[in-house]
Amino acid sequence: MEMARKLAGVLAGIDTRLAMVLSGVLAQRTTLAEAASMLREDIDANKILVAGAVAVVPARDDPADREATLAAAAKLVSSVFSEAPVLPGAISAAMDLVLSGYEIPSQDESQRHRHGERMREAWKIEEIVLGASQDMDAALVAIHQVRHAVATEEQIVRDAIDDVAL
């Protein structure tokens, strides 16, 4: 009888620890969901910003004001990314950023390549975060199943204790 009571206590302790694990996994899952959401917003905002900036650049066959318009679009992109004053180097870097998603010849192909690499890295990170979220979801299901099994076992032991006591 004493052994059965100890077993019931152990099972109750297991459930308490599983509840703490569940709480931690839920918090991690929430954090991953927020990270995925922010990452998606960042990726989408970058696409919108580059598309909007390039939209103001005149067509290739209209060279009249192309460079000035491109510089203005790059200045806009640069100012969105930073609250600091826009410096000439930042404008040049932003021009390369604007050019990076389009078939417009760029002075600096390596800058274009780096931006493309950053976007690919962001997509990879997003994929990893989404995969981790799916793993957390599976862990939550498993924790709930184990808690249910432990609660069932605890109830069986307590019922046996009650039966013996009668």
pLDDT at residue 102, rounded to an integer: 47
- The pLDDT of residue 150 is 93
pLDDT at site 88: 55
CB 140 within 8 A of CB 29: yes
Residues of the chain with pLDDT under 70: 49-116
How far is the C-alpha of 115 from the C-alpha of 142, rounded, in Å? Answer: 41
In angstroms, the CA 165 to CA 153 distance is 18
Domain boundaries, the chain: 2-165
pLDDT on residue 62: 58
Residue 111 · residue 93 · CB < 8 Å: yes
Whole-number Å distance between alpha carbons of 113 and 119: 10
- pTM: predicted TM-score of the whole model, two decimal places: 0.57
Euclidean distance between CA atoms 4 and 100, whole angstroms: 70
- The whole-number pLDDT of residue 25 equals 92
pLDDT at 44: 80
24 three-class SS: helix
151's tokens: 């609660």
* 111 token code pair: 């800058």
pLDDT score for 104: 47
